[in-house]
Structure 1
């Protein structure tokens, strides 16, 4: 049990009395759970007759296109405002007689009536509210108010409400309390109040934990489950005595109780700060923890499985949390608002992490790090995810956006500043540069589709839970980060942080819309005397209220500059109207023959800047370090000069811009703005390049060629060309690491060593395959002694399993099942998809539907991994089509990963036949895609574009690779 606060004996006695009363009620409630479970799933609404526990059927509820009744609307009315909740929950960590895990509890919510109403709507989903009292709910007036009597109650399933109709109205300005008691299933669905399982010392352990964002607090207890409905939460958890209970705030001393022969513990928690329901968290587990030093201003604790803590897997997170917290306190100029920061690693968790205020929940891979087993990438992931979640403690938690349509502001901001926090924690990693590679290049490919969407939507367009879930995509996170980084660059980071400070001060413990941030940033800009072409709001609204981004074309002979909406498929139809006619305020920075020039604002479709004209032998690169969210095209003469510079002295061009030139050229080629062979020529200098960012960018862009051509005659010459380019890199790292016996010192060199080996092995560079299969064979011969460098494990495992057969696959599967370190299990999970044996891939796909073999949190990733294998792709596509109903219903249509699943399995589609299959899939499962709906439309658009691109480019690409593969370096 963790450190608690001293409370008096009288308070302890009071707690025991409350607990015994609650336990008596809760035990009684659990008895009826199995019967009540089926009733809650019946068509709603149903009315509870005053003196019976049996619902009497009402006419079937249908939610019309235009709601006729308040309970048919997906948004809460503005008539009631919660003040506080007092919630008691008792999760069962063992199944009942019906083999169900359940939880039971009761809740009192105190609310103010803002507008007179005879109706209470409060969210409740998959809860079976019991009827030992006259109704589902009991209403009491407070502070002298008289509560109306209840007319009837029912559960409105489509909109997820408990509806309480009253015989007379609540009075505006009066305070009331609504009491409910309920039973729910502690399911393994990774949402709401759910269970996670793991094996320790051969014994199955069960964890009761939560994931409320965005709309699942209502699965734990009835609540006003919207982000603007902030309140104070008083939590009480009843749990087995061998377990510990955690929540957002510090616990009081726990009290042991005995009731109905059960030895239990009751843990109460201090009231939370005023906060949104989606940030509520509570966990019951047998975990242990490590903590910060007693003199620390904030208590930091890292919680995980006992063995993980004993093995030191939480040490790195504890070491870095303090410095990152301190960085954000300075960055925001605002003290951390809570007494403690608990961070807990869960065996089953759908997202990477969740920023619950004071109790951040993580996947094990996002919090735990073992230096002997985990890779450099694992370490970076831990640092950036911790930084992302801690950034939310202020931006998102202290100040919360009013509605989910502005989710981009919350998540985009945290994504951007997570790189600043991680840079503070690990200053030698150059994290401020890696945001370009990790976030910006990738999301540009999505935002260049006609089926993209603006960062900010209208509130009325985001109503249903599945609409909200769809927003958790790369546009929200990565483009949000990119445009905020751009804003910070052109007003300066110092001014940006000062604007954040006043924003947080004015709106702390409250809700905002994005224009509130623009207002405070404008105040900071004005105070600093920074000159902008228009106010911050005018500039930034063009980046958030219309989808997409511009391509800026610069003619270095005339100084002419133009902008237009960049589309990967220029023939696609953009049917989403833009309030700004797809024009942007574009901050243009540039280098002329190695010298950085002043910033220039392009504020119209066309302009002229004579400073951008070039003399003889000069070259120009625009968008320094990718500070702006746009692509750049040039006149043909400047392209030739850039290619010449890359081929002669590439280091004169900054490393990020070397990567940018590659990424822009390949994407401009896909958009038919430059020739595909020009894009391919940007990779010719790579035989001299040793930096990670250009190599990784080239690799990603060439991956598209693999997707399109690995089943055609292009594949052979393409492999030969890449082999020629990567051989010097392979030899470079062989020398740098003294024949692979040392780890490169530089962070990005460690990444690029992986590129060198994986590309060398996949293209047949001499000695590579023997190297990786030899390391793997040594491990198979002595499984207790894995000497493979953690950084190289993924590529070594994949290479060896691809070269091997059943024996290698079965060995890796055994190691995966026995792995006690989550990051090691993830590497093996990926590598198992690399086999060339179709029957093994089919077996692996079937495992994805068995949570005892592949955890539900990992099923989507595994299927996508298999689909990335050219042999596995048609198998994975057949698999999800034949099992879609099961996957959708059993794994949750609201899961954030459904978009990733559809996207991953269809990336390779480039034929008319595949396009028709995708259309048929859409028709066969109409309305049954949940959070994957937008991804399906994007897949159709992408497939059409791929078909056109292949038809146009296959011949010239084949000829180019054939010629270059045989030419001297």
Structure 2
């Protein structure tokens, strides 16, 4: 073990110069960035000893020894520390070469920057090593930041305690003094003190437990030395949880830890984790770099999961899966979450980002690779088809707004990383990686990623390091056009916000011209002065296409390129103009496609004649592109709604999901207008055949993707008052009145909404009781949605006054506003409590975004402006997108309402009322 430490230390030292050079020369470090540590000291190893008094007084006695190397002759050492109290005479510095103490002149704390500077009497010798020793005390937090504590209850009704860590992105400094930046990797020797009835866990396996002298019932647990890792991946856990391993797999490296009551619900996650490890080891040709993975379901977390190396933490509800109570969606979501965190053991842990600017290198790759792995483990789930809608199309909606940001976004202050910690690095990052896989070929990308991981293992990398490795691999395999590099192509997708729409014009037979421009969901977005020249926003766009004569959708490698410097591109090899052509095969490219009117009509005719000619992903693409182009004012709603007519015969989940995601906006915009009834009639006509075929009764024996389709149809059948839903709601009402035992059928929650609407006070109180009792977040959300369906204003107000805090209030407002009555009550609650809510900046922006996102008239804009005038500039900046959305909605009504009204009438869906 000691030899390993020395070898790893030498290895780290050899990498210091290159890391420092990257930091100083790269775009990630600015010469005047006073929030970053100076590159003068390199940590090599930490020896951390912590004794947390969990459930006693929640204080922590701490001791850390940091082996460092001076990169220069310096007289001060700066590192991170916050909410830590150094004991009197608690700092020592010892030369590793001769064991002599280095005199300390004093210390200086800079709380605003989380720095402590240790001033020395003499300069350190460049390239020499030293040991910095600090004795300190701290307290366990009560919120999930740093080293924190929470409580839970077991079946014996005894309250129990757990202490856990959440160090991402820069919170290790709350637990022990450290160099808390991702590039400053080191090894860690962890010692945790615990009481004998508790268990301690850390990143590595337990080496030994020894009694603590003069403290009966206490033990020191020593863990094996870690591999080189960033501080944000260090993890501790002290708990009374129980554990289990994978049944029937003696050699499993995976253990699950939860409270005993739900331990039997971890089998699914254990299986997925073990299979995920095996898949990634084979895929990358690189073994898991640590000997075990503990997965822990915690009652209190900051995020759904955290990828700590070897000790992955999850929110309890995201981790467990019950075959009897959980939904099909939660089964898939938990699998994706577990596999995402397993993928992080390579992307993010084995190779870490140099700085938070390239967060997408960690999150985007883990998101994409988790989908690839699940597609191999559970092919019947069709997750790569779903990806087109759930990831690519979903993030496109966010990325088409003016306030979007690039995938690779400069982050100076780690405390502000949450401002860019959204769907862009996750889902856009994953989407452009998927695009890159089709550009280079899956085999080339796989080889390139293996080379990248092997080249930078136990080190840090930036975006350009990946581009360089992939270019070398692609040139070797012949996957790149002559003279092009991966960096040249992909920088246009990672360093710019937004994405393009390509316009296809077919002026004559056999050819087409293609142009690109940035797509905005509302053309209002393009009218503002955002400081960006639209002429500068151009992309390298891979062009794939097929046609009616030879409808071959498998060849997704680019046939040609529309380059940033090209005003337009002419494509040949198309059929005559009376045959359709389709571009962006399987929607592998991260862009939208708009056609001339003749080609749109040909595509619509084909959908109505035989939609199965197009694969599911392209059917979803045609739907999503047309409805978003219409919403943006680029394409007539007459064309877009004609596209949806074929859905009467559609049976696949992915196109239905794309359609209903988009039709939801029209549904909301028309909700209080005279045309809402006609639009509902059209939707009811569309979904009737698929509801008749699939039904609404839950059947867990069906393929998972069909269960997902049923969940989607249940929601809309109940929204549209379909007889099948009304019958289920009536059955629920009988059970409410008979005081029968109620459980929520996981995949069909919409009937509860209708039952609450029709059942009055008694039904609402029955669902409220269920809501208060369930710990499962998926079921809790379904029940919360049902509570919001009531038509009794006093019940809604009673719920709003039930001491709601934090996200509970946000959720309640989200549930309440789904009805017309609820929308008004939710808004007036915010209006009447605006002064109080403004003083809660952690939730206020989310609340405004929740209640105001479908406002569309002058009165709405006036009241929203009146609130926003009272907020601070930072909050105002965060909410600028809401104001733009309201203006966009208003413009939509002026432009699109009459078009939709006419289309509905011409299609045979018009409600006429004789008012005389």
Assess same fold via TM > 0.5.
yes
Partner deviation per Cα, 1:292-327 (whole Å, 9 max, x = no partner): 479765521011111111xx2011111222211111
SS in 1 for 2:788: helix
Shift of 1:179: 2.7
Range moving further from structure 2, 441-450 or 200-209: 200-209
Distance 1:327 1:89 in 2: 36
* Contact persistence 1:833–1:866 (CA under 8 A): yes
SS in 2 for 1:925: coil
Aligned pair partner of 2:665 in 697, 704, 717: 704
Q: Paired residue for 1:643? A: 604
* Contact persistence 2:152–2:159 (CA under 8 A): yes
Give the 5 Å matches for 1:230-249: 230-249=185-204
- 1:428 aligns to 2:397 (yes or no): no
* Contact persistence 1:550–1:563 (CA under 8 A): yes
* Contact persistence 2:810–2:846 (CA under 8 A): yes
Cα separation, partners in 2 of 1:927 and 1:182, compared to 1, 3 Å: farther
Range moving further from structure 2, 394-403 or 940-949: 940-949
* Contact persistence 1:546–1:582 (CA under 8 A): yes
Cα separation, partners in 2 of 1:716 and 1:741, compared to 1, 3 Å: closer
Aligned pair partner of 1:167 in 114, 121, 143: 121
Distance 1:189 1:881 in 2: 29
Partner deviation per Cα, 1:911-966 (whole Å, 9 max, x = no partner): 3343344444444231564xxx7642322322222221122222222333344353
Shift of 1:347: 1.4
Aligned pair partner of 1:765 in 713, 719, 722: 722
* Contact persistence 1:214–1:469 (CA under 8 A): no
Partner deviation per Cα, 1:635-659 (whole Å, 9 max, x = no partner): 1001111112222222222221111
Distance 1:882 1:234 in 2: 54
Q: Paired residue for 2:24? A: none
Range moving further from structure 2, 191-200 or 769-778: 769-778
- 1:790 aligns to 2:746 (yes or no): yes
Aligned pair partner of 1:334 in 286, 303, 321: 286
Q: How many residues align?
A: 869
Q: Paired residue for 1:556? A: 506
Partner deviation per Cα, 1:44-99 (whole Å, 9 max, x = no partner): xxxxxxxxxxxxxxxxxxxxxxxxx9999211111111111122223333254xxx
- 1:480 aligns to 2:429 (yes or no): yes
Q: Paired residue for 1:179? A: 133
Cα separation, partners in 2 of 1:825 and 1:418, compared to 1, 3 Å: same
Give the 5 Å matches for 1:10-21: none
Range moving further from structure 2, 188-197 or 952-961: 952-961
* Contact persistence 2:192–2:221 (CA under 8 A): yes
Aligned pair partner of 2:572 in 610, 616, 620: 610
Distance 2:437 2:845 in 1: 30
Shift of 1:258: 6.5
Distance 1:959 1:509 in 2: 63
Normalising by structure 1, what TM-score? 0.84
Distance 2:648 2:500 in 1: 32
* Contact persistence 1:802–1:836 (CA under 8 A): yes
Cα separation, partners in 2 of 1:138 and 1:947, compared to 1, 3 Å: farther
Partner deviation per Cα, 1:542-565 (whole Å, 9 max, x = no partner): 111111111111123441111111
Distance 1:656 1:412 in 2: 21
Give the 5 Å matches for 1:31-42: none
Partner deviation per Cα, 1:409-438 (whole Å, 9 max, x = no partner): 211111111101111221211111111111
Q: Paired residue for 1:58? A: none
* Contact persistence 2:788–2:816 (CA under 8 A): yes
* Contact persistence 2:518–2:534 (CA under 8 A): no
Range moving further from structure 2, 496-505 or 910-919: 910-919
Distance 1:825 1:174 in 2: 58
Cα separation, partners in 2 of 1:838 and 1:351, compared to 1, 3 Å: farther
Cα separation, partners in 2 of 1:361 and 1:426, compared to 1, 3 Å: same
Cα separation, partners in 2 of 1:446 and 1:130, compared to 1, 3 Å: same
SS in 2 for 1:757: helix
Distance 2:371 2:316 in 1: 20
Range moving further from structure 2, 625-634 or 189-198: 189-198
Aligned pair partner of 2:624 in 660, 663, 669: 663
Distance 1:532 1:232 in 2: 43
- 1:948 aligns to 2:891 (yes or no): yes
Partner deviation per Cα, 1:71-129 (whole Å, 9 max, x = no partner): 99211111111111122223333254xxxx433323222222112333322212223x1
Aligned pair partner of 1:601 in 561, 582, 585: 561
Shift of 1:848: 6.3
Cα separation, partners in 2 of 1:721 and 1:258, compared to 1, 3 Å: farther
- 1:569 aligns to 2:526 (yes or no): no
- 1:213 aligns to 2:168 (yes or no): yes
Cα separation, partners in 2 of 1:961 and 1:934, compared to 1, 3 Å: farther
Range moving further from structure 2, 330-339 or 161-170: 161-170
SS in 1 for 2:122: strand
Give the 5 Å matches for 1:685-764: 685-734=646-695, 740=697, 742-743=699-700, 745-764=702-721
Distance 1:170 1:375 in 2: 61
* Contact persistence 1:718–1:962 (CA under 8 A): no
* Contact persistence 2:41–2:70 (CA under 8 A): yes
Give the 5 Å matches for 1:17-166: 73-94=34-55, 96=57, 101-127=58-84, 129-131=85-87, 133-134=88-89, 137-144=91-98, 146-166=100-120
Range moving further from structure 2, 714-723 or 903-912: 903-912
Cα separation, partners in 2 of 1:636 and 1:773, compared to 1, 3 Å: same
* Contact persistence 1:423–1:432 (CA under 8 A): yes
- 1:507 aligns to 2:466 (yes or no): no
SS in 1 for 2:116: strand
Shift of 1:741: 6.7
Range moving further from structure 2, 722-731 or 340-349: 722-731
Shift of 1:607: 0.9
* Contact persistence 1:564–1:605 (CA under 8 A): no
Distance 2:907 2:802 in 1: 43
SS in 1 for 2:207: coil
* Contact persistence 2:448–2:470 (CA under 8 A): yes
Range moving further from structure 2, 916-925 or 478-487: 916-925
Distance 2:50 2:519 in 1: 52
* Contact persistence 2:441–2:479 (CA under 8 A): no
Normalising by structure 2, what TM-score? 0.89
Q: Paired residue for 1:273? A: 227
Q: Paired residue for 1:907? A: 853
Distance 1:243 1:808 in 2: 44
Distance 1:157 1:138 in 2: 21
Cα separation, partners in 2 of 1:731 and 1:744, compared to 1, 3 Å: farther
Aligned pair partner of 2:303 in 351, 368, 385: 351
Range moving further from structure 2, 174-183 or 291-300: 291-300
* Contact persistence 1:658–1:694 (CA under 8 A): yes
Q: Paired residue for 2:14? A: none
* Contact persistence 1:902–1:935 (CA under 8 A): no
Distance 2:605 2:59 in 1: 68
Distance 1:322 1:359 in 2: 14
Aligned pair partner of 1:393 in 336, 345, 355: 345
Q: Paired residue for 2:148? A: 194
* Contact persistence 1:83–1:112 (CA under 8 A): yes
Distance 2:351 2:798 in 1: 48
Cα separation, partners in 2 of 1:557 and 1:71, compared to 1, 3 Å: closer
Aligned pair partner of 1:815 in 770, 784, 800: 770
* Contact persistence 2:499–2:590 (CA under 8 A): yes
Partner deviation per Cα, 1:159-187 (whole Å, 9 max, x = no partner): 11223233333332222223333333323
Cα separation, partners in 2 of 1:197 and 1:910, compared to 1, 3 Å: farther
Distance 2:507 2:133 in 1: 75
